[in-house]
Amino acid sequence: MEAEMCPHVLLFPLPIQSPINSMLQLAELFCLAGLQVTFLNTNHNQHLLCRHTNVESRFRQYPKFQFRTIPDGLPEEHPRSSELFGELISSLQAVAQPFLREILPGVTCVIPDGLFYYAVDIGNEVGVSVIPFDTISPSCLWVYLSFPKLIEAGDIPFKGNDLDVLIENVPGMQGLLRRRDFPFYRLTNCATDLYCQLALKEIRSIPRSHGLILNTFEDLDGPLLSLIRSHCPKAYAVGPLHLQLKTRLADKRMPLPSSNSLWEEDHSSIQWLDVQPIESVIYVSFGSLATLTREEILEFWHGLVNSGIRFLWVMRSNLLREEEFNHQFVKELMEGCKERAYTVTWAPQEKVLAHPAIGGFLTHSGWNSTMESIVQGKPMICWAVYVDQRVTSRFVGEVWKIGVDMKDICDRYIIEKVVKDLMVTNKDTFKKSANNLSMLGKQSVGEGGSSYNAFEYLVEDIKKLGRRGKDTNPNCIG
Ligand code: UDP
C-alpha cells in the first residue's frame, strides 16, 4: 500500500482561467498515470469552478485526487481584472508562501505556474523538487530568457518610439521580432516595470528548477525548445495538452472532459452554428482577461459587418474597459445584423472551434486559444493585447503562416479586409497550412509521438523523485 500512495504531486495554477484550465488537464493526466494529486486553487476561483462545472464529481472518480484551497488575499468585491493583475499576484504570494512552506515537505514534487518563482525558492529550501508549468507560449518564454542579453545590449528599454525597429539580440528570432512584437512593448524602465521584474525573477528561477513543463509540441516549437533547453535541459513539451488528455481518456474508453470554465458556457452558440453553412463563420473571442474600449469594439463590429462574413462573438460581461457592461449597447449592435451574427457572454470554446461551421478565429492570441485553434486546423486573425500574445501572433503570421497578424491595428477597413482575406480570398492557402499543423499536433499526442513520450518521461521522472524522496524525506505522504 505504501508504494501506491507515493509520488504525490502538488499543482498550483495562476489564479486565472487559462492556467486553471491547463493545470486541471495536467492534473487529470497525472490521475490517469496513477499519481496522487493535490490541486491548489484560490477560494474565489474554486467557488466559480464548482458553480459552473462538474469538476468536483468528475475528479471524484480519482480517489488519489484532492482539491485544496487558499484565499487570494483580496476582498471579495475586488474585480480581479487584468488591469489589477499585479495586486492579485502580490496578495496571493503573501498567502501562498507560508502555505507552501508548510505543505511542501509532504509532497514529492510541486508544479507551480512559471510565474510563481518563489515556489522554486521554497522547494529548494525544504528539499522538494519543483517543475514549473509555464503556461505562456514558448516563444514568449524564450524572449524572457533573452532579457539579460537584451538589457546588456541596450535593446531594452527601447530608445525612441519607433515600434518597427527589429530586435536582433534574441537568438533564433533575428529578422523576425520587432519592438511591436515584444511582450512589454511600452517598456520604459526595466527596474520599475512590475511585469519586467516578474519575468526576470521567473527566468532566474528556471535553471534552479528540476524541469519545466510546456504546452507545445516539437513540430511546432522544436527550434525554440532546443534554445530553452540550454537553460533547463528537462523541458517537457507535452502539448497540445487538452488533446493529450482527450486522446488518453479515449484510449481508456473514459468520458471526455467537460468544461473547466469559471463562467457559465452558453451552448446556444452551438445550436446557432448547427444551422450555419460549413466554414462560413468567424469566431471572435479575446479570451478571459483582455479588455477593449467602446471605440475598439465598434471598429471590430463595423469591420465584421462590412466584411459580409457571419460571426459568433464572445462579448464577456467585463469586456468593456473601465465601464459597466452595457447590455443595451450590445443589443443595439446586434439588432442590425441578426441574420449573420450571434453573441454570447461565454462560449464552450473547444466545441465552437471544433464545429464545421467555423472557418476562422479572430483571437487575441492567448496561448490556450492558439493551441485550441491549431488542433482544429482553424486559421487565425490575431489582434494581440499584451505579454505572450504579441510574440505568439508574430509566429502565427510569419513563422507558421496559419493566419494574419493584425497586431494592434484596430481599424474597421483593415478588419474588413483581413476577414475577407482569411475567410475568402486566401482561405485555401491558410487552411492548408493550418490543417498540416493540426495533423502534426495530433500525431504528437498519439502513442509514440513526441508529446506522448514527453509526458511518459515526466511521469517516470516524478516516480524516480518519489523513490528518492522515500529514502530521504520522512514527511513523504505514504
Ligand atoms: N474560453 C472559453 N470560452 C470563451 C472564451 C475563452 O472556454 O468564451 C477559454 C479558452 O478555451 C481558453 C481560455 O478560455 O482555454 C482562454 O485562454 P487564453 O490563453 O487563450 O487567453 P487568456 O484568457 O489567458 O487571455
- In 160-198, which positions are buried (b, 16+ CB within 10 angstroms) versus exposed (e)? eeeeeeebebbeebeebbbbbbbbbbeeeebeebebbeb
Best residue among 14, 16, 18 to mutate for probing ligand 1's pocket (most ligand atoms within 8 Å of CB) is 18
Best residue among 368, 383, 389, 396 to mutate for probing ligand 1's pocket (most ligand atoms within 8 Å of CB) is 368
Mean pLDDT score across all residues of the chain: 93
pLDDT at 233: 95
* Spacing, Cα 425 to ligand 1 middle (Å): 28
Residues 6+ apart with CB under 8 A from 4: 478
Residue 344 has pLDDT above 60, yes or no: yes
Burial class of residue 77, CB neighbours in 10 A (0-12, 13-18, 19+): exposed
Best residue among 261, 369, 370 to mutate for probing ligand 1's pocket (most ligand atoms within 8 Å of CB) is 369
* Spacing, Cα 335 to ligand 1 middle (Å): 26
| CATH, domain range 268-440 | 3.40.50.2000
pLDDT band at 473 (very low <50, low <70, confident <90, very high): very low
Residues 6+ apart with CB under 8 A from 69: 40, 41, 42, 43, 46
Where is average pLDDT lowest: 47-56, 198-207, 217-226, 334-343? Answer: 334-343
Per DSSP, helices labelled H in 349-411 are: 349-354, 367-376, 388-394
Phi-psi region of 12 (alpha: psi -120 to 50; beta: other; left: phi over 0): beta
Identify the DSSP state of 449.
S
User: Quick check: helix, strand or coil at residue 68?
Assistant: strand
pLDDT band at 258 (very low <50, low <70, confident <90, very high): confident
Where is average pLDDT lowest: 159-168, 318-327, 340-349? Answer: 318-327
pLDDT band at 469 (very low <50, low <70, confident <90, very high): low
* Spacing, Cα 438 to ligand 1 middle (Å): 19
Spatial separation of the C-alpha atoms in residues 391 and 400, rounded to whole Å: 13
Identify the DSSP state of 396.
I
Best residue among 259, 284, 319, 349 to mutate for probing ligand 1's pocket (most ligand atoms within 8 Å of CB) is 349
Spatial separation of the C-alpha atoms in residues 317 and 114, rounded to whole Å: 29
* Spacing, Cα 287 to ligand 1 middle (Å): 4
Residues 6+ apart with CB under 8 A from 301: 333
Give ligand 1 pocket residues (Cβ under 6 A).
17-18, 21, 261, 285, 287-290, 314, 346-347, 349-350, 366-369, 372
Residue 288 Cα: closest atom of ligand 1: 23
Phi-psi region of 175 (alpha: psi -120 to 50; beta: other; left: phi over 0): left
User: Quick check: helix, strand or coil at residue 212?
Assistant: strand
Q: Which cell is 248 given?
A: 488518453
pLDDT digits (tens, 9 = 90+) for 345-388: 999 999 999 999 999 999 999 999 999 999 999 999 999 998 99
Q: Which cell is 373 given?
A: 485553434
Q: Beta strands of 82-218 (E only): which ranges?
A: 109-112, 129-130, 133-134, 212-214
Strand order in the sheet with 133-134: 133-134, 212-214, 235-237
* Spacing, Cα 27 to ligand 1 middle (Å): 18
Identify the DSSP state of 292.
B
Spatial separation of the C-alpha atoms in residues 439 and 312, rounded to whole Å: 25
* Spacing, Cα 209 to ligand 1 middle (Å): 28
Q: Which cell is 157 given?
A: 528599454
Residue nearest to atom 11 of ligand 1 (CA): 349
pLDDT digits (tens, 9 = 90+) for 400-427: 999 999 998 999 999 999 999 999 999 9
Residue 416, CA distances (Å) to 117, 176, 187, 320, 358 in order: 42, 26, 31, 22, 17
Residue 242 Cα: closest atom of ligand 1: 15
User: Quick check: helix, strand or coil at residue 341?
Assistant: strand
* Spacing, Cα 53 to ligand 1 middle (Å): 15
The helix (H) or strand (E) run that includes residue 413 is: helix 412-420
Helices 294-307, 327-335: axis angle to 10 degrees equals 20
Are 312 and 352 contacting, i.e. CB atoms less than 8 angstroms apart?
Answer: yes
Q: Which cell is 219 given?
A: 513540430
* Spacing, Cα 405 to ligand 1 middle (Å): 19
For the 8-260+447-472 domain, the top CATH level (class) is: alpha beta
pLDDT digits (tens, 9 = 90+) for 39-76: 999 999 999 999 999 999 999 999 999 999 999 999 99
pLDDT band at 328 (very low <50, low <70, confident <90, very high): confident
CATH 3.40.50.2000 placement within the chain: 8-260+447-472, 268-440
* Spacing, Cα 185 to ligand 1 middle (Å): 23
Residue nearest to atom 1 of ligand 1 (CA): 349
Best residue among 17, 85, 365, 371 to mutate for probing ligand 1's pocket (most ligand atoms within 8 Å of CB) is 17
Residue 260 Cα: closest atom of ligand 1: 7
Residue nearest to atom 13 of ligand 1 (CA): 18
pLDDT band at 470 (very low <50, low <70, confident <90, very high): low
* Spacing, Cα 343 to ligand 1 middle (Å): 16
Q: Which cell is 182 given?
A: 515584444
Radius of gyration of the chain (CA): 22
